Amino acid sequence: MKFGTSGLRGLSVDLKGRASALYATAFARHLLESGQAKAGDPIFIGRDFRDSSPEISATCIGALARAGFRPVDCGTLPTPALALYSLQHGAASLMITGSHIPADRNGIKFYRPDGEIAKQDETAISSFADAIGGADQAIDEARGTAEDQSGPCEELFFERNAALLPGGALSGLKVGVYQHSTVARDLLVRVLLHYGADVVPLGRSETFIPVDTEAVSEDTIALLRGWTAEHRLDTIVSADGDGDRPLVSNETGEPLRGDLLGLIAANFLEAKVVVTPVTSNSGIEAAGSFAVVRTRVGSPYVIAGMDEAVAGGKNQVMGFEANGGLLTATPFTINGQEALPLPTRDSFLPILSTLYLAATQKKPLSAVAAAYRMPVAAADRLENFPVETSARLMTHLRQSDTNLAAFLDPIGQVAAKSDIDGLRVTLADRRIIHFRPSGNAPEMRCYVEAETEEGARSLLRQGLDTIKDWAKAN
């Protein structure tokens, strides 16, 4: 087990039983010893639709009860709904989810009473886990049950989203909802109907389907295109497994990039400070009247950037990741009402703000997206790419400018580079290529930007091929 860009991740078979009991106990110990919670406090637990999630959830409930807490079961629901409910009650929470990764993997996201854990919390939890479970010490893996508060938890999140737009704001839009196995599937339909949209549920599955909204598969895009044409839809919306990353396609079924959704939401909120990772589109700085802070990839780094802005006296502070998951660090006045901070990834607000923009402008989403005149971006990954090979490659590229120039020589000349997270290189012709090992899987990721779609696709192919050639030779 290890912490990645967002939470603890691992194979489901490894996380079941001992590991989930161990890390839930370690989290409880961290909360108690840091003074963030006390014995008898409630602690909320949610989960996604993976086959392994109910067992892992029950094991965590048992461990948390033995550690002195009062576990509360919030059922299957979006991660931002669990986070909002926990914040309202000033209580910690755990979300059992592997997000968008394959069904044979799972994970746990941890929340303090004031929001998502930070990197220092991850270190403390890992240290407690090492101490508690050291030397193969026996761990009580008995499962437990808890009071069910899934109804009030879901209702609070619905009420938040039902207040974001004017009544009937999406009337006239025909919206498909790709339901697959996301825990957001029923709430998305309910919220869109509330705003007057003509909603068509699509592709509901009782078997878990991993949908990566940051790197939408060709099979998924084919589904979106087919449904769009068949039902004459204006858009299809969806989310990943735990409902914290949005997916929005245009009137042809082509997905919009997550960072564009985040940008649209930033303008909708009239944000003054936007915090986003280095992997988000380079055109964001020129696309709004806000200051932009760049960070490493992962919600803990975005949250740290937002916290720093708030500590510096800034207001109307928000952030988003390249996958479109949106976070708010301060209150925002939306539709005449105050929306409280929700400093964890949320898929609903970016979906709603994007559809609202299309509805108010009476334009197809392709035209809405084109009006931003962003550089064309693309991303992909090499799966089953050994972590050791990724580390050797990054060490080699960072070792000298000569190594980096030789590696990229078949692609272009290096003009500038950034080492915030991986290596992001601006070429002499202003194209951008970024190499970054995944934070939670044996994958090597490549992100690119170019002036045209064909140019971005070509650069992406070159980047991935160059990585593979280097790996074979070294």
Please list the active-site residues.
99
Q: 77 Cβ partners below 8 Å, 6+ apart?
A: 46, 150, 153, 154, 157, 183, 187, 243
Contact by Cβ (8 Å): 318, 266: yes
β-strands 423-427, 414-418: how paired?
antiparallel
The span from the CA of 299 to the CA of 319, in Å, is 9
